[in-house]
Amino acid sequence: MTPDDSACNPDNIAEIGDLFAIEGEFVGGREISSGHINRTYCVTYRKFDGTEERYVLQRINNKVFKDPYAVMRNVEKVTRHINWKVLRRRKGAPGQTLNLYPARGGRNYITLPDGGLWRCYNYIEGTHTYDIVENTRQAYQAGYAFGSFQELVSDMVPSDLVETIPDFHNTRKRYDRLMEVVLADPCGRLDSCRHEVALIQQREDCVDVLLDLQRQGILPVRITHNDTKINNVMLDADTDEAVCVIDLDTVMPGLALYDVGDIIRTVTTSTAEDEEDLSKIRFRISMFQSIIDGYLDAARSFLTRAEIDYLAFSGKLITLEVGIRFLTDYLEGDVYFKTSKPNHNLIRARTQLQLVSCLEAELNDMEKFVRKRTAIS
Ligand code: GN1
Ligand code: MG
């Protein structure tokens, strides 16, 4: 089940691959199903010298990204900038970065007759991703990877990038939208989630905290990733060191804290995002501590004191935000996130809300840890 099922299936994936400047013959392809938005395939080509190379073909979900051409312009700028910066820094060592392949027609994407927009990236070899982090070393690397990413894009010109999804992390607007959908109840699902709506309403005061600080000029707007879930970090398959971050469709101006919040949401939890047994959901403070250590090691040079003061809170806020978004989509009839079972969005929302209450219980200890790590000596 997916809200974006129109005309893309593995049968024609070879034809799509052949529209890009890829050397050799198509060998095979498989879908990568971990993302909730785009359709993604890993394809293998045999080059003329007999060796094989892998690529990622992706169809941009144009219901979610209303202007997919703007997404492509952003991604092109960001990948080129990162490529340049990594090459300059490593002085020739071939660091792996995400890069777009040219397509027929002179662009870096193709548009199919059904309106689908496809692009092709290099596959980041020798790496893997996690949905649930296993140890604090991986948690450190996740924090470090996104802190480094923020540093890498820090010298891009913010006005060069389009806001690909306006108000993406505007937590007030996300909250208000949920309340509108609750009132309208377009699919008659409200009775099955009144408890979850109430849990969110009890936390309404959180949604304005960072927005108010931004309005007052206390929190700076930076270029940020905006989709920092753990499976968007590629870690070295042998050493678990961060190699690069992927999923650049929402790289745009935002608050650094939104990135940190989503790392905290996806790394500190002990279960999958859609765990149905709420008693299994635990917040792991050791993971939080390692995220903060990794993130600060990469980002301390540019963070302001106000940003540091809200690091712990950002985890609770973004977990609440994602819970709000899943519940909104459930009430609207599953039109945004891909789902693979009945009530999937409701299940995901419940998991997020359980994690919010775990985060609340530990907020003091989390803040204490951040203060200790950042005390001015
Ligand atoms: C979506 O595509 P994916 O799975 O990386 C979503 C994120 C949510 C996430 C929840 C463009 O990310 O904002 O946090 O699902 N991306 C978009 O798992 O809405
Ligand atoms: Mg994404």
Model pLDDT, residue 11: 72
The residue type found at 157 is V
Q: Which atom of ligand 1 lies at the shortest distance from residue 266's CA? A: 18
Contact 210, 257 (CB under 8 A): yes
Model pLDDT, residue 90: 62
Computed on alpha carbons and rounded to an integer, the radius of gyration of the chain in Å comes to 21
- Rounded Cα distance between 306 and 60, Å, is 36
Quick one: angle between helices 344-373 and 311-332, nearest 10? Answer: 170
Model pLDDT, residue 6: 44
- In whole angstroms, how far apart are CA 236 and each of 96, 145, 321? 11, 12, 30
What pTM was estimated for this model as a whole?
0.95
Band (376; pLDDT cuts 50, 70, 90): low
Model pLDDT, residue 226: 98
Q: How far is the CA of 252 from the centre of ligand 2 (A)?
A: 13
Q: How far is the CA of 377 from the centre of ligand 2 (A)?
A: 40
Q: Which atom of ligand 1 lies at the shortest distance from residue 232's CA? A: 5
Q: Which one of the ligands is nearest to 259 CA?
A: 1
Alpha helix ranges (H) inside 185-310: 194-201, 209-215, 256-267, 285-299, 305-309
Mean pLDDT in residue range 315-343: 98
- Rounded Cα distance between 168 and 321, Å, is 10
Q: How far is the CA of 37 from the centre of ligand 1 (A)?
A: 7
Q: Which of 36, 60, 249, 265 to mutate to test the pocket of ligand 1 (most atoms within 8 A of CB)?
A: 36
Contact 263, 142 (CB under 8 A): yes
- In whole angstroms, how far apart are CA 25 and each of 15, 43, 103, 119? 11, 11, 16, 18
Q: How far is the CA of 335 from the centre of ligand 1 (A)?
A: 13
User: What's the half-sphere exposure (Cβ side, CA atoms, 13 Å) at 143?
Assistant: 27
- In whole angstroms, how far apart are CA 348 and each of 158, 296, 333, 338? 33, 30, 14, 12
Share of the chain above pLDDT 90, in %: 90
- Whose tokens are 């990038």? That residue is 161
Summarize pLDDT for 253-304 with one digit per residue, the tens. Answer: 999 999 999 999 999 999 999 999 999 999 999 999 999 999 999 999 999 9
Q: How far is the CA of 7 from the centre of ligand 1 (A)?
A: 22
Average pLDDT, the chain: 94
Contact 223, 158 (CB under 8 A): yes
**Please, which residues bridge with residue 187 across strands?**
none
Q: Which of 87-96, 98-107, 131-140 has the lowest mean pLDDT?
A: 87-96
Model pLDDT, residue 146: 97
Q: How far is the CA of 36 from the centre of ligand 2 (A)?
A: 7
Those residues whose C-beta lies under 8 Å from the C-beta of residue 120, and which sit 6 or more positions away, are 17, 20, 22, 55, 56, 57, 58, 100, 101, 103
- Whose tokens are 């649930």? That residue is 132
Q: How far is the CA of 309 from the centre of ligand 2 (A)?
A: 27
Q: Which atom of ligand 1 lies at the shortest distance from residue 326's CA? A: 10
Q: From start to end of 47-182, where are the E strands?
A: 52-60, 110-111, 117-122, 127-128
Q: Which atom of ligand 1 lies at the shortest distance from residue 265's CA? A: 14
DSSP state, residue 6: T
253 φ, ψ to 5°? -60, 140
Residue 136's nearest CA partner among 281, 291, 262 is: 291
The span from the first CA to the last CA of the chain, in angstroms, equals 55
Does 7 score more than 50 pLDDT? Answer: no
Q: Which of 167, 227, 231, 332 to mutate to test the pocket of ligand 1 (most atoms within 8 A of CB)?
A: 227
Does 1 score more than 70 pLDDT? Answer: no
Mean pLDDT in residue range 327-348: 98
Residue 251's nearest CA partner among 76, 132, 74, 373 is: 74
Contact 255, 223 (CB under 8 A): no
- CA 216, 217, 219, 223 dihedral sign is positive
- Rounded Cα distance between 109 and 65, Å, is 15
List, chain by chain if needed, residues with CB within 6 Å of any ligand 1 atom.
35-37, 64, 227, 229, 232, 247, 250, 273, 322
Summarize pLDDT for 65-100 with one digit per residue, the tens. Answer: 999 999 999 999 999 999 988 877 765 445 688 999
Does 153 score more than 80 pLDDT? Answer: yes
Does 248 score more than 70 pLDDT? Answer: yes
Residue predicted with more confidence, 141 or 88: 141
- Rounded Cα distance between 63 and 329, Å, is 13
